[in-house]
Structures are given as structure tokens and as C-alpha cells.
Structure 1
Amino acid sequence: MNKAQATTFMTTLYRDVMSRFALDQLDHYFTSDYTQNTNGHQMDYKQVKQHLTNLQKNLDHLVFSYFSDVVFDEATQTITVAYQLTATQNNGHQALAEVISIFTFTNDKLSRCHELITPLMQDDRSFIDLALK
């Protein structure tokens, strides 16, 4: 995979899975042994699926900025993306966060993610709490 392909893959993933919650598409994007580390909290593929199901139930919608930074290493098949995210909960509360994620591709699917999420609203940990449920 090259940088253009990886960026297109990530843009489509965020649109389909994260914004539209098309959870039936997960196997298209992730390997069965996918692992994710968010702010030090480790999840396996089954836990990530449950996490996304919880987000779907608790959020009215997620809005992603365009990737402000994209770095792709073709040799290691890793892509680093940075963006801002606005989450609107079902109760109307909004949270804004900055996210930096490093993903690893294996056989054209994501096999690993390491990400840091920083709330951008003063004293607002609600997004972090949602991210780790």
C-alpha cells in the first residue's frame, strides 16, 4: 500500500465506521487480531467492536475534521493521522478532542492502533470516558 491508498482507506474507514457506525463493515477494515491502545487502555478486536457498539448507542453523532497531518511509512506500512473530533452525546452534550493515531496495516487491513486523545474543552473528560468504554 502507498500513501495515497492508505489515506483513502483511512478516510473511507472514518466515514463508514466512525461517522456512520456501519459496524457490519468492521471485518473489511480490521484484522481479526486487531489491537488498539488508547491513552494506555488496551483493547482487542472483540472489545473494539463492543466499544463501537457503545458509541453508537451513546452518541448522536461524531464529526471528524479532515486529517490535519498524515505521515505514511511504506516500509513498515504505518500511517499516522492527526485530527479533531467533536462528539455529540444523545443528551446534547458536546465534547471536542484532538486525536493522534498511529495505525499499522497487515495485508491491507488495520492490525494495530496506538492513539492519544486530548480533550480540548476545559475540564471535559467526557470524551476520554467515552473513548475508553
Structure 2
Amino acid sequence: MNKAQATQFMTTFYRDVMSRFALDQLDNYLTVDYTQTTNGHQFNTDQVKQHLANLHANLDRLVFSYFNDVVFDETTQTITVAYQLTATQHNGHQALAEVISIFTFADNKLARCHELIIPLMQDDRSFIDLATRITTK
């Protein structure tokens, strides 16, 4: 995979799965042994699926900016993306965050993610808590 292909893959992944919550599409994007670390919390594939279902249950919308920065290493098949995210909860509360994610590809799918989510609104921890929770409360 080259940088253009990896960037297109990520754009489609974010559109289909993250913005549209098309959880039935996850297997098209993630390897069976996919792992993710978000703000120090580790998830396996099943936990990621639960986590995304939790986001879908608790949010009306997730809006992603275009990737502000994209760095791709062809040798390691690793892409780093930085972007802003606006999450709107069912109660109307909005949270704004900056996200830096490092993804590793294997067999043209995502095998690993390490990400940091930084709240941009003062004293707003609600989305960060939601972003690292697997089950609904």
C-alpha cells in the first residue's frame, strides 16, 4: 500500500464506520487480531466492536475534520493521522477533541491503532470518558 491508497482507506473507514456507525462493515477494515490503545486503554477486536456500539448508542453524531496531518511509512505500513472531532451526545452536549492516531496495516486492513484523544473544551471529560468506555452506562 502507498500513501495515497492508505489515506483513501482511512478516509473511507472514518466515513463508513466512524461517522455512519456502519458496524457491520468493520470486518472489511480490521484484521481478526486488531488491537487498539486509546489514551492508555487497550481493546481487542471484540471490545472495539462493543466500544463502537456504545458510541452509536450514546451519540447522535461524530463529525471529523479532514486529516490535518498524514504521515505514511511504506516500509512499516504505518499511517499517522491528526484531526479534530466533534461529538454530539443525545442530550445535545457537544465535545470537541483533537485526535492523533497511528495505524498499522497488515494484509490491506488495520491491524493496530495507538491513539491519543485530547479534549479541546475546558473541563470537558465526558467525551474522553465515552471514548475509552466499552459498555453503556
**TM bucket normalised to smaller:** over 0.9
Residue 51 of structure 1 is matched in structure 2 by 51
The alpha carbon displacement at 1:75 in A equals 0.1
> Within the alignment, does 1:20 sit opposite 2:20 as a pair?
yes
2 CA distance for matches of 1:40 and 1:52?
Answer: 17
What is the alpha-carbon root mean square deviation over aligned residues? 0.3
- Among all aligned residue pairs of Structure 1 and Structure 2, give the percentage whose two residues are the same amino acid: 82
1 CA distance for matches of 2:80 and 2:126?
Answer: 24
Q: TM-score, normalised by structure 1?
A: 0.99
Residue 131 of structure 1 is matched in structure 2 by 131
Structure 2: tracts of 5 or more residues without a match: none
Residue 96 of structure 1 is matched in structure 2 by 96
Letter matched to residue 45 of structure 2:
Y
C-alpha deviations, 1:20-71, integer Å up to 9, x for none?
A: 0000000000001000000100000000000000000100000000000000
2 CA distance for matches of 1:132 and 1:38?
Answer: 6
How many pairs does the alignment contain? Answer: 133
The alpha carbon displacement at 1:98 in A equals 0.1
The alpha carbon displacement at 1:86 in A equals 0.2
The alpha carbon displacement at 1:111 in A equals 0.3
Residue 87 of structure 1 is matched in structure 2 by 87
1:4-43 to 2 correspondences below 5 Å: 4-43=4-43
Q: Aligned with 2:67: secondary structure?
A: coil
